[in-house]
Structures are given as C-alpha cells and as structure tokens.
Chains A and B, each alone.
Chain A
C-alpha cells in the first residue's frame, strides 16, 4: 500500500521531508517525479476560520443573543466560537494532495473522509481564483475540472495554495493535458493565436465558441472572418419568413406570457380597475361569450409574444458548414448570436416535435455536442434550426448526421406491456383527480367549472396514452442509436454509437412486475443520458450488449 490511503490517521510527515518546511513554499515538482503528500498553504489557517465564522454568523449571533438573555456563562459562547474556528482549521490538517504517477489525488474530510483521484490527462479546466480574503494574504484557490464537468463533487478543489504555486500548478497541469491536443477552432477570427494553457482553460467555450454581441458591432467582425477564410462555406439552411407562422405553436409564447404576467402583477395595482371595467363589460355579454372572448384575447396576446420571441432570436438565421469541419449558426435580431460547433464534438441530433408543431407538420433540430454542459440545450446554444417545416429539418439533420434510416426509418415498438403501462400511467392519475373532485363536491359545494376541469383529464387520458405509445420506439443502425418518446414534447434522439459512454438498465418495482426496463444510454454530449423507456427487459439487456464494445460486455453475458 505504497500509494494508497492508510485507512486510519496519521501518516505523519512524508519521508524525506522530516524537517517539514512550509509546504506552500515548495513548488510541486514536475508531475510524476514526486510521491509526497502535500498540505495546503498554512496561511489558509488565517483565512478559513474567518470564512467559517462568516458562514456561521447567524448561528453565532443567535448564540450571543440567547447567551445574553439567559443566565449561561459567557464561556459557553466562547466554546462554540472556538469550535467553529477549530472546524475551519481542521481542514488544513485533514487535506492533503499529491500529483504523482500521472494522476492527481486529494484526501480530505474529518468526519466524511474522502479520496478523490483523477488522471491528469482528463483535466479539461483549471480555474485559479482569488477571493478578497485570499488575496489579502497572497493565496489562491485552484479548481480542477474534468470532462464530467458540472457536479461540484467531481471537482478537485485546492483551497488554498500560495498564488505563485497555484499559477505554476495550473500551467503544469494544462501543459500536460494539452500536449496532444488540436488547437481549438476560432470561428470568428476575433482572437489571435492562443497559448495552450489559456485555450484549455476555456476548453468548454473553445469546443463550441458561442459569442453574443450587439448587432451593429458584430457585422464587420463577421464579414472580416468570412472574407479571411477564402474557402467557400456550404449553406445548409436559412430562415424563410413563412416559418414565423409556427411561432404560436410552441410553448415560448406561453412562457413569456407567464413571465410578463408575473412581473406586471406586482406593478399593475392601478391597472386593475381598468381591467375590472373591461371584465364587467365582457361579462355583461353572458358567461359563454365571456369565456370565448377571454380565450381569444389570451390566444392573441400569447401568439404575439411568441412571434416576437421568434423574430428576436431567429431573424437572419443561417446554418453553414465550414470546410474546417465546423457548423456555424448565426441568428438574432437585436443580439446576434454566432455559435460554432466543432463537428468532431457533435455526437448526434435531437429532432423535437412538440404537439403543436407536429400538428402543423413542423419540427425543430438541436445538436448533441460535448463540452457545452448540460444547460446549453435550454439556453439555445445547441439549436441547429428554429421551428421549421419537417422536410427542411430532416434535410438539415441528414446533412449533419448523414444516416437516413436513423432519421426517418421505422422504429421497433415496445410491445403490449409498454402499451398497458402507458394507459395505466395516464388513466390512474386522471381517475384519482376526478374522484377527488367529485368526493370534495359531496363535502362542500364546488363550482361547476371546477367539476368540469377536474373531469377533463379523464377524457384526454386515453388519447394521450395512445399517442404516447405510438411515439415509443427505438432503433439501432450501424452508426446510431435512435430513441423516441413523448406526446406533448415528442423527441427523436439520434445518438452516434461511438459517443456512447455507458449503459444503465433500470427496473422500477412496477416495471419489474410488467417485465419492462428503462435503458439509459449515457454520453458526454447534450442531455448526458438518453432514455429508451419501457422496453422489454430481455431486449434492454440485448441493447446494452450491442451498444457497448463486444469485448466489454462479453464477460457479463449469462
């Protein structure tokens, strides 16, 4: 156990370092040449108690207040303050790290002890930050991110090192991980040659540069970029103004309406009288007509908002492919967004067909790409097309993934058990809701409108279940795995099989009763995991075997 974690404390000073010079003063050696565990900078003993004290300030205040009013001795307060300070200082004694044998190891924790390790090759980002307290004593905080990204638990945080040590650590780690890296593509041509450390530091944004700029300022830069790259770019799709008619069919109008409603509700005090007047006049027409007028007005307002949102975000939309292997999206009216996606990082596409668009024969296209992070799909950085006619979207998708069967081919249905489950899951909640409303009506007299609203889901449920089952399906093509599901938000996910990282077969209690399982294909791109819902269990296990390399799963076959 030379390299491991001795389960019980305490390893003592590392061999060969008996005098124990202040650890922060020694720079970490070149990676792979130094097996010693290092502590954080001892100046941290000044910073952390202050930080902990600030964090526990409310509790400390409460202690002091109650201490004053009751007859307790002030020693009690001091003891608690001492505990807080000791807790802050304990971190220095319990945290050690080393960079050795091509990996970074971090041990920490007093009650919750943990050992974090990551190979140095997997490092994507190294952030060095210096908050106020740290700067005052010349410290810096180092945060090491791997491609798994996002989650705090996965990040190795060294809080804190002496500022020069932190800088040197950063450059050493990044130099190592960028040694075999291709220079990031620079689609706007606005930044000069980048030094490797910086480029890897912003690796996420370099993988898919996403720049937001005011409309006026952007055009010269954009033009300069296009003229400097003499090679022709290939136009894949371009906004047709007729597409704006699809805007009211998406939920974007509803979302903005809700936001505006919530915002204005706080300021609309003096408006209420006017609105009440209007309501009074409409109500005079009779209940049926009033509801009709209200619905039409609401639909009109929501549509207007949706059209505005569509124009603002998709005006002048162009999707082009550059010979260097990047997809380039430009769109926006007031704020022009230019997003470049490195095609080497695109792992597939999502064809979204929410109910409204589907009824109008339209859909929209999103790219699955690594390095954007999980929220990127919601923020629109990965959008390839706006809501557009299905034929346009399919042609664009075909140009991106080049696998026609995956995009248009018939899918394998999931069978009668999955169909039953769709109906049970749609009808049972509807029955419970309707039953609850009817039961409540016997206790207290409910308005008729509420009774009708409570029973409406019961009418919609069978249709919803049938539609959801019709969407359910999956397909394996030589290059892609395809999953489709959903009714209101139907989506066809086309994921490259080479982008599959792992599989999860999950059977809930009720799924096990029905012999079904949900197969989640995990990937580093897009939503990070794509689900094939309620597939018969043997088929899920089969798929798990087919999706991973044969030599991986051969050992686990029954």
Chain B
C-alpha cells in the first residue's frame, strides 16, 4: 500500500476483476417476473384508457400499444439476460464482493470482519423458483450487500458460513 500523500495516484493501476460466481440461472426468470409485473401495470393503464376513451379515434391507442408492446418485449428479453451476465458474487476468506445492475453497475466490497447481520429472504416468486436473496449488512447504514437470485440451498449454506465467520470476529465492527 502506498502511503505517501500525493504519491498514491502514481501507484500501479490494479483493476478489480469481476466476482467469481454467477447467481442461479433461474434468477433470469425471477427478473423476468419482476419486469412482467411492471409491464402488467403499463398494460392495465392502456386497457383503462381504451375503455375510458370510447368516443375518440382508435389510431392513437394502436400506435401506443404497438410501441409499448415492442418496448416491453425487448425489455423482458434483454434485461434478464443482461442482468444475469452482470450479477456476480464472491466470498473470500476475508471479504464479501458483489456486483449488480444492468444499465448501471454497482460493485460492493465489505470485509467479513465488518459484518453485522446476514439475512435470507424469499418472496413468493423466489419461493416458486426455489431461489433466495441474501442481504449482508454492516455497521454503516449506507446500504447492505445484496445477492439476489441464489439457489435456495446455496443461500442457506452461504448464510451459515457467513454467520459462523462473523460470530467468530470480536468487537462491534464499527
């Protein structure tokens, strides 16, 4: 580690590599379902517009429906695959490292010695797909590390190992 003030910029650039492990492939279905719910809201709005606007010409309805239909299909096809390529995670002996997002990308690293709580949650869709989400919180309220779409057995094993390691650390991790 370069300790000289001002000189730290000249240090050899060491890029971060991507985290090693991908999430469960079924997570693509989870994201597709979540995206589908948004699409359903959009479609419901247009159906409402169709029935409320009885007098007007039908052309604007059809144009809007066509455009939103194409966008929705593109979104539902592209977003889950893209996310699946981006969402990755890794737990080393000393740290948890996650990467998430699709258009924007976020990478988080937290040392295991700083872990406060490890939570596992499974929503209705995740339960149907046998998936689970693991949230790792630290003493900072700036946001937890979230690993979405893990196979539920992997998730349980991950929670167990992380809590075991975190419990072994001393101090209050602030």
Give residues in A with beta carbon < 8 Å to B: 1, 3-5, 7, 101-103, 109, 111-122, 124, 146-151, 153-154, 180, 370-371, 374, 405, 409-410, 412, 475-478, 499, 501-509, 511-512, 520, 522-525, 527-529, 538-539, 541-542, 544-546, 548-553, 555-558
Which applies to chain B's interface (DSSP): helix, strand, loop or mixed? Answer: mixed
Measured CA separation A546–B140 after assembly (Å): 19
Residues on A with C-beta less than 8 A from B163 are: 103, 117, 119
Contact present for B103 and A509 (CB under 8 Å): yes
**Do B16 and A524 have beta carbons less than 8 Å apart?**
no
Q: Would you list which residues of chain B between 72 and 127 have a CB under 8 Å from chain A?
A: 90, 92-95, 97, 103-111, 114, 116-124, 127
Q: How far is the CA of A147 from the CA of B171 in the complex (A)?
A: 11
Give every chain A residue within 8 A of B166 (Cβ-Cβ): 119
Docked pose: A117 CA to B120 CA in angstroms: 9
CB-based contact B16/A121 at 8 Å: no
The 8 closest A-B pairs by CB, nearest first: A529-B142, A502-B110, A522-B140, A524-B139, A524-B174, A558-B17, A147-B139, A119-B167
Residues of B close to A508: CB separation below 8 A? 103-104
Partner of B17, one of A7, A117, A557: A557
A545 to B13, CA, bound (A): 10
- A120 cross-chain contacts in B, Cβ below 8 A: 167
A555–B90 CA distance with the chains assembled, in angstroms = 10
Contacts of B109 in A (CB 8 A): 502-503, 544, 548, 552-553, 556
Rounded to whole angstroms, the CA-CA distance of A146 and B139 in the bound complex is 8
Which residues in B have their C-beta under 8 angstroms from that of A114?
A: 119-122
CB closest residue in chain B, given A116: B119
25 A-B Cβ contacts within 8 A? A4-B156, A112-B123, A115-B119, A122-B116, A154-B137, A475-B5, A476-B8, A478-B3, A505-B106, A507-B104, A520-B142, A522-B143, A523-B140, A523-B142, A525-B174, A527-B142, A541-B15, A542-B11, A544-B109, A548-B111, A552-B95, A555-B95, A556-B17, A556-B90, A556-B95
Q: Are A502 and B114 in contact (CB under 8 A)?
A: yes
In the complex, the answer to whether A506 meets B105 with C-beta atoms within 8 Å is yes
A-B CB contacts (within 8 Å), total count: 221
A10 shortest CB reach to chain B, Å: 15
Residues of A close to B171: CB separation below 8 A: 121
Query: Which of A119, A374, A409, A504 is in CB contact (< 8 Å) with B5?
Result: A409
Q: How many residues of B contact A (CB 8 A)?
A: 65
* Contact digits for B121-139, partner A, Cβ 8 Å, 1 yes 0 no: 1111001001000010111
- Is the beta-carbon distance between A115 and B120 smaller than 8 angstroms? yes
Q: Is the CB of A148 within 8 A of B140?
A: yes
Provide the bound-state CA to CA distance between A522 and B123, in Å.
28
Query: Shortest distance in angstroms between B86's beta carbon and chain A's nearest beta carbon?
Result: 11
For A149, the chain B residues whose CB sits under 8 A away are 141
Nearest CB in chain B to that of A203: its residue: B172
Who on chain B is nearest to A149 by CB? Answer: B141
Q: Which residues 135-174 of B sit at the A interface, judged by CB distance below 8 A?
A: 135, 137-143, 145, 152-153, 156-157, 159-160, 163, 166-167, 169-174
* Complex alpha-carbon distance, A102 and B163, angstroms: 10
Judging by beta carbons under 8 Å apart, are B174 and A147 in contact? yes
Q: CB of B59 within 8 A of chain A? A: no
Q: A121-B172, A147-B173, A522-B142 are in contact. Are A7 and B156 (CB under 8 A)?
A: yes
Residue in B closest to A112 when the chains form the complex, CB atoms:
B123
